Amino acid sequence: IGGTLTHWLSLGNHELSHNLCFKTTLYNEILGMVANCAQGFPSCVTFKKYHLEHHYYQGTDEIDVDIPTYWEGEFFNTTIKKVLWVILQPAFYALRPLFVNPKPMDLKEAMNIATTLSFDAWFAYTFGIKALAFNVAGTLLGMGLHPCAGHFISEHYTFKEGQETYSYYGWLNLVAFNVGYH
């Protein structure tokens, strides 16, 4: 359940990065920061900064950091390594931008970090470190080796040259803001 819920929050942040909840950008960003509190990781502001480029320059190496790097494709070339890549997907998704296309941190990112880490500290103090670990583990599972996270592969892995993305039309769209229709 934790992986499904935190994955849902991550996809909510995807929708918020496109300003689809409120007409005002700031309100979408604030709601994204609230969602990050339950996930344990500050990510909504940085995600938005890079994700919009993913749509403008889809499939362009060194700009579209949503797609795996050449190194990832070369290294994770066996079944076992590919399963490991899926498990580590949240780390690659979070760290890839810092290596492929680094950008300076801005005030909103700093606020996102401060808000989320402050909430994490309060949450751990109030409910215990195990409760915080549950939220963090749910996020890592929900973005990695979880049925709901399968859309990341179909959206960001090239199976056929010239076709950068694939859509998913199954029932998991019910808990994924229809993100499979990509």
- Render pLDDT for 147-171 as a digit per residue (tens, 0 to 9): 887 777 776 666 777 776 677 777 7
| Positive or negative: CA dihedral 80, 2, 44, 105 | negative
pTM for the predicted model, two decimal places: 0.82
* Residue with tokens 């935190």, as numbered in its chain: 6
163 beta partners: 160
Minimum mean pLDDT range among 98-107, 117-126, 156-165: 156-165
- Average of pLDDT values for 58-74? 86
pLDDT of residue 172: 80
Tens digits of per-residue pLDDT, 79-93?
Answer: 999 999 988 888 888
Sequence-distant (6+) residues with CB within 8 A of 147 are: 172
